[in-house]
Structure 1
Amino acid sequence: MAQNQQTATLSNLYAELNRFGQKQEYEKAVRIANKILQQHPEEFAAFNCKIVSLLLLGNFDEALQALNKDKTHSGSLKFEKAYCEYRLNRTNEALNTLKSVTTQDVRTKELLCQVLYRIEQFEECYNLYRDVIKNSQDDYDSERETNLSAVIASLQLWGLKDMSDPGLEENSYEICYNNACYYIGKGDLKTALEKLDKAEDLLKSDTDLTEEELDEELAIIRVQRGYIFQCQNKNEQAAQLYNQVLKTKPSDVGLVAVVSNNVVTINKDQNIFDSKRKIKAATGDNLKHKTVSHQRKHINVNQCLVHMYSNQSEQCHQLAKKLMDQHPELDSPLLIRAAQFVRDKKIEEAVELLQEYVKIHPSEAFKAQLIISQLYLNQGSVYLACDALKALGDLAYKPGIVSTLVALYLSQEDKESASEVLINAVNWYKKHD
């Protein structure tokens, strides 16, 4: 009798749980699910409903805690666990959870695509999206094609891989926008502008968007159009578009960061007060998941320049050194640091840094040695300037370098050294004729 009563109570609780779920009263659904689990901890259906309700409420942290605590049921809810981790920006954890799924269904693969996109594994993301599109037929094909176009644009835009135009139908402003980014990456700015114009037309014809939503989406298109103008050295037009966007105070902090950084690039060593405000907007702690690593690198380089132009020597050196350690492939942090040493009137430190640069990047020796030579000349150290030019090896015999060396030695009334330069140059050309 007691068993029958217990079964009836459980059935009643599930009926209540189902009713709250259908009415989208998810907080009440969670309470009922907890009530079931207190009495019947083995009930997977109740645990599943609890987790789904928490996800629909946006309570990802609470859902993840419940999944981590309940080892009995969580093994069957790896997708839900990965989704919580993804939404909480625990992206690498989400990746590991998804990779542990032995048989991946479409939704698992699609979440994995989003995770791969966020961690900038664009090529793997591209291959997986193609697999999903090829092996699924449902109402989400157009959304997948939009996402695929974003991945292709990223591969091309950030110089990771030369991609072919996939020929996706441009039936949405998102695909047109992504294709514009793709053509920017290709260097075809004319076609990119045409795609942005088409994207804007499609956007304005979307009657489902509110005025606020329309402004937010138009801002993205205008920023990209501004970037194209900037690439074409039409800085006035670019700045006008950027300022127009910033005046609307877009909610997308990533977009604000990119616009602000672009304005700093246009400002260069002018409008320092404005640049300091803009770079602050581009370097907040909340931007890590709103910008890609390529953008963050260039924002940090601009921050370094703003420190230098603002006479913040210590901050400039600290950030430049940090960037040199984090991104050894970048030339600019080292060169900025050398420039800061010059501003600090520490010429020897600047020269040492540039010589270190030559060792790391022998192909850049010509440019670096010319800079070193100029630094010595600015100090009035003509012979040291000549030594820097002569350290160019075979490049020291270029006609322009030879004539410069001769002129410099003659300026010191050192006819012997000038003559030696000419004789060495003649002998070099005889040997290499």
Structure 2
Amino acid sequence: MAPKAKVNPKPSPSSTPPAAQSVPLEDLFAALHHHAQNFEYEQAARVADQVLAIAPGDEDALRCKVVALIKSDAIDKALSTIQASRHLPIQLRFYEAYCVYRQNKLHEALKVLDGQERNSMILQLESQILYRLGKMDACMESYEKLQRFKIDSLDLKTNIIAALIAAGRSAEVQETMDALKVKATSNFELAYNYACSLIEKKKYAEAEQQLLSARRIGQEMLMEEDYADDEIETELAPIAVQLAYVHQLQGQTEEAIEAYMSIINRNLSDASSLAVATNNLISLRGTKDVSDSLRRLDRLIEKGTGARQFQLANSLDFKLSTRQKESLYTNRLLLLLQANRLDQAQEVISALPEMFPDSVTPVLLQAALLAREKKVAKAEEVLIQYADKFPDKSRPVLLARAQIAAAGGHFQISVESLSKIPEIQNMPATVATLVSLQQRIGDFGSAAAVLDSAIDWWKNAMTEENKLDLIMQKAAAFKLNHGREEEASQLYEKLVKSHGNIEALVGLVMTAAHTDLEKAELYEKQLKQLSGLKQLNVESLEKTPGARHVEDQVVVEIMATCSIKPGIPVILKELEQGSQFFHQGASLRVTGKLQEYSVDTAIAVIIEDDVSFNIDTRHLRDLAFRIGSYYQFIGELLILPEDSAILQARVGRIVDGLDINLYHQSLQLRRQFEVELMNSRVT
């Protein structure tokens, strides 16, 4: 700042210090300029006070004092100076917002900026605040406005790329870098950010090479600027942490743990990198070494002051992003639950909603604690209230409610929760889960309706990976298992005609044996004409898709909780000691003529080709037993002493219309199909 000539006013002796009166004002401004140019901010602030003592309300002196205090990290003093000057016609709102931002009062800082003209300085600060708050869409809007000012700053361009990645828009990074005329080699921060975009796109090998390049660029740049070795290591610590994270993502667990431990043990002065490394290490360990993991987190999370229950150590509240801070608290809470320290877990949960008001994580963790305390109904209530209040955030909440309800045996509530998420209704994982839950309730009609609805949806779906065949195959098997042979036969026939699927052909023969013997015999001939299955595409058979939906892993977890296995169809004579089917808990489907039935014990005896077998029917409802009729049961095999066995049935039905001989032939063909398929895989 150039020296500023001023006409000396005549202040009263009582208001002006003698030392200030003896120095001409222009000399004070010259000294102020000298200290500012030499980064001597504490001295600059003192000289500014001298100027203000002579000329109270001087705008230049006041601005210089505020900036000098900020530059010397005297944020509280700077804010006090601004607040004491509010009666003056001087615009200091930008500096006030910056001071509040530095105090980590992010929402308050945004309020201070309200109503201000969006010049380049305001937009840069606003973008940083929004970035720290995790409001990435709004942050990118500010950066887009900022680009209209044509500011040629590499730091600004680096921040724009970082915000783009944090907003989940990694696919746009290369295009944006081209538009900004920067390359990944421009500086090590850009190289690092570009590597992060590759990680988001799951290009881990490329990301690793880019991180190594970032480290090399950083070492060269910092050495040229005469940084000491320990300072270079601290500056490049984020790259080291991200390299360890790439190892973690690639399944290289030992390498990742070793890298994280190396970073932690070096005790670098970069507190944020140490915190991220610690948190990642704890996530990688999972439930192992819970006590040690808690001790490590306790060094990062401490009791708060005033109204705040908790705060992060080492100024981490200011250095970490909202998502990173939330991850630290979440991991600590999960560890407390694992250690059964429920009182401490409750303390953390009660603090989280205020700390992370825009996140669904606090309510999910609250529900997890309630479920751990066996308060399943309360957990369900908390989640549905949140979902109703914030419908735009309801999806993960409803999925969590479905999982908790299913685990607690509240299958109808689980169904209702999943049914409130229309965008996943026809995904294979959701369909399988809903069908399984409806079966648990005993509502087989609704289960069939779910499958029918999914078939209709996939018929009209314009997607690259259409799941119609998969859904039809599952629907046909379900309908066959629940006495809807005609519907099952129609589905299998459509599959055979559209794709010539071998498994569908076997299913068609089995279902037609119930409803249309002529059709069954016709298709059975097609099976017999297969010559060793040599022309089968084994790889395509091995890649038969399963019911999964990676975006909603919780649905798959519900399936694990609620899955009802269809049962492997077997002939009674196959159930002998040493058979592949004769093992504890085997899920089987058996068919035979009812020979005996005990009302007292609910034990049914079926016979087939002179082989009899006992069925425990205690869990079956609304099934009439008639001696001489044919029955089919699905259940689990219970091995008894002396190698006898009984089937604990969970599904049963009368199959008097079944051609038992044709059914046996189709099973034998299926066995042949499986054996030859396995042989073809071996060769």
- Normalised TM-score (structure 2): 0.51
2:199 pairs with one of 184, 189, 210: 184
Alignment CA distance shift 1:352-1:212 (3 Å): same
When Rg is computed on C-alpha atoms for both structures, the one with the higher figure is 2
- Residues 246-272 of structure 1, C-alpha deviations (whole Å, 9 max, x = no match): 011122322222221211112222212
1:111 pairs with one of 113, 117, 125: 125
Partner Cα separation in structure 1 for residue 565 and residue 262 of structure 2: 52
- What is the CA-CA distance between 1:153 and the residue it aligns to? 1.7
Aligned to 1:380: none
Residue pair 2:337, 2:345 contacting (<8 A) in 1 also = yes
Partner Cα separation in structure 2 for residue 278 and residue 318 of structure 1: 19
- Residues 203-261 of structure 1, C-alpha deviations (whole Å, 9 max, x = no match): 22222232122111332112112222222222211111100100111223222222212
Aligned to 1:80: 95
Aligned to 2:365: 333
- What is the CA-CA distance between 1:195 and the residue it aligns to? 1.8
Aligned to 1:281: 299
1:316 pairs with one of 345, 351, 358: 345
Partner Cα separation in structure 1 for residue 340 and residue 383 of structure 2: 24
Q: AA paired with 2:337? A: M
Alignment CA distance shift 1:75-1:276 (3 Å): same
Counterparts in 2 of 1:244-393, with a 5 A limit? Answer: 244-284=262-302, 285-286=311-312, 287-319=316-348, 327-328=359-360, 333=365, 336-337=368-369, 340-341=372-373, 346=374, 349-350=375-376, 353=379, 367-368=403-404, 371-372=407-408, 390-391=440-441, 393=443
- What is the CA-CA distance between 1:174 and the residue it aligns to? 0.3
Query: Which of 175-184 and 349-358 deviates more?
Result: 349-358
Partner Cα separation in structure 2 for residue 258 and residue 53 of structure 1: 33
Aligned to 2:162: 150
- Residues 300-327 of structure 1, C-alpha deviations (whole Å, 9 max, x = no match): 2321221123231332355457668965
Query: Which of 248-257 and 19-28 deviates more?
Result: 19-28
Secondary structure at the residue paired with 1:71? coil
Residue pair 1:47, 1:73 contacting (<8 A) in 2 also = no
Q: AA paired with 1:149? A: I
Counterparts in 2 of 1:119-268, with a 5 A limit? Answer: 119-138=133-152, 141-156=153-168, 163-165=172-174, 166-167=176-177, 168-170=182-184, 171-206=186-221, 207=223, 208=225, 209-268=227-286
Number of residue pairs matched by the alignment: 400
Aligned to 1:431: none
Partner Cα separation in structure 2 for residue 87 and residue 224 of structure 1: 26
Q: Establish whether residue 401 from structure 1 lines up as the match of residue 564 from structure 2.
A: yes
Counterparts in 2 of 1:18-57, with a 5 A limit? Answer: 18-23=30-35, 24=38, 25-57=40-72
Aligned to 1:17: 29
Partner Cα separation in structure 2 for residue 354 and residue 9 of structure 1: 73
Alignment CA distance shift 1:423-1:199 (3 Å): same
Which structure has greater helix proportion? 1
Residue pair 2:364, 2:400 contacting (<8 A) in 1 also = no
Partner Cα separation in structure 1 for residue 95 and residue 242 of structure 2: 35
- Residues 267-303 of structure 1, C-alpha deviations (whole Å, 9 max, x = no match): 2222122211222234341333222232233322321
Residue pair 1:264, 1:275 contacting (<8 A) in 2 also = yes
Which structure has greater strand proportion? 2
Residue pair 1:33, 1:50 contacting (<8 A) in 2 also = yes
Alignment CA distance shift 1:93-1:74 (3 Å): farther
Alignment CA distance shift 1:18-1:99 (3 Å): farther
- What is the CA-CA distance between 1:414 and the residue it aligns to? 0.5
Q: AA paired with 1:153? A: I
Alignment CA distance shift 1:80-1:334 (3 Å): closer
| RMSD (Å), alpha carbons | 4.1
Query: Which of 76-85 and 20-29 deviates more?
Result: 20-29
Aligned to 1:382: none
- Residues 50-84 of structure 1, C-alpha deviations (whole Å, 9 max, x = no match): 32332333322112111111124463233332332
Alignment CA distance shift 1:218-1:31 (3 Å): closer
- Residues 20-42 of structure 1, C-alpha deviations (whole Å, 9 max, x = no match): 43144544443443344334324
Q: AA paired with 1:299? A: L
- Normalised TM-score (structure 1): 0.77
Q: AA paired with 1:98? A: L
Q: AA paired with 1:401? A: I
Secondary structure at the residue paired with 2:24? helix
Partner Cα separation in structure 1 for residue 9 and residue 335 of structure 2: 74
Q: AA paired with 1:201? A: R
Unpaired runs of at least 5, structure 1: 375-385, 427-433
Partner Cα separation in structure 1 for residue 76 and residue 402 of structure 2: 55
Q: AA paired with 1:122? A: M
Secondary structure at the residue paired with 2:564? helix
Residue pair 1:220, 1:255 contacting (<8 A) in 2 also = yes
Q: AA paired with 1:56? A: K
